[in-house]
Amino acid sequence: MSTVADVIVVGGGVSGLTTALLLAERGLRVRVWSRDPAAATTSAVAGALWWPYRIEPEALVGDWSLETLRVYEELAAAPAETGVRMVAGVHGGERLAALGPWARRLEGAAEVAEGLRVTLPLIDMPAHLSWLEGRLSAAGGVVERRTVRGFAEAAAEARVVVNCTGLGARDLVPDPGVRPVRGQLVVVENPGIEEWFTEADPASSATTYLFPQPGGLVLGGTAETDDARTGPDPRTAAEIVARCARIRPEIAGARVIGHRVGLRPARDAGVRIGAEELPGGGLLVHNYGHGGAGVTVARGCARAAAQLVD
């Protein structure tokens, strides 16, 4: 039997759950409709280091990211519960002058020979998504497994619908500017590495990063635009391990635990946060197109979307 709702959030990844939580904490009756359980969403596959990577528009991303950073810094006080830890590492080849104004507000960031050294939130996404669902439930929100074929379905049951469908927005809106950017990861037994490392070449689909997570050392990665393959490619996996082993040689002998593939929901025009009327007088609020930084901007974008609901 369906629960009465003021708002239905379509999409159960980090953006949808964070938006739903903010709305529920404001006293609204919120239901989340998600085709997949949180553990099977793209968000669950993410690395997931806080950093505004492959996301536009630049003019807005900085503030969204910093707002989210402050929240993660608070959540890191209880890492076992929230999945958020503050971990030191190096962005290879980066310099503050090449980044946006937001980077100058990073506490403790220092330029070293290898790049930019800084302590940032590193999120264990399965744990964090579970924490978000628990907080949402405690605030009175409900998560339901449901495949949505059109926003009219949700509008028939709530006055406000929030679109956090990620890649699904391509067909549901429809928005042809939404495109998959394939990311492949390899998880290995951690040989004792405690700090993260990243190095990205904007001109290449290959990136190099290693993130020490509770379930193993996550190695990456790729950023293959318009590639919707969801299965791991063995050759790509071998190349990822080889690149990471050039940074930390001990990785070469680490036992492979598993492989992950996720499709980042990029949008040609950047993140879309806006509202439009639905037939019958309802309101449709959009919050999608976060590319490779949905985790990084989750709270900032959720607040912007929640303001439109208000």
- The per-residue pLDDT for range 61-111, each reduced to its tens digit, is 999 999 999 999 999 999 999 999 999 999 999 999 999 999 999 999 999
Res 54: pLDDT: 85
CA 195 to chain centre: 20
- The per-residue pLDDT for range 194-220, each reduced to its tens digit, is 999 999 877 788 999 999 999 999 999
Q: What pTM value is reported for the model? A: 0.96
Span 49-60, average pLDDT: 93
- The per-residue pLDDT for range 252-294, each reduced to its tens digit, is 999 999 999 999 999 999 999 999 999 888 999 999 999 999 9
% of residues, the chain, pLDDT over 70: 99
8 A C-beta contact, residue 183 and residue 221: yes
Res 3: pLDDT: 67
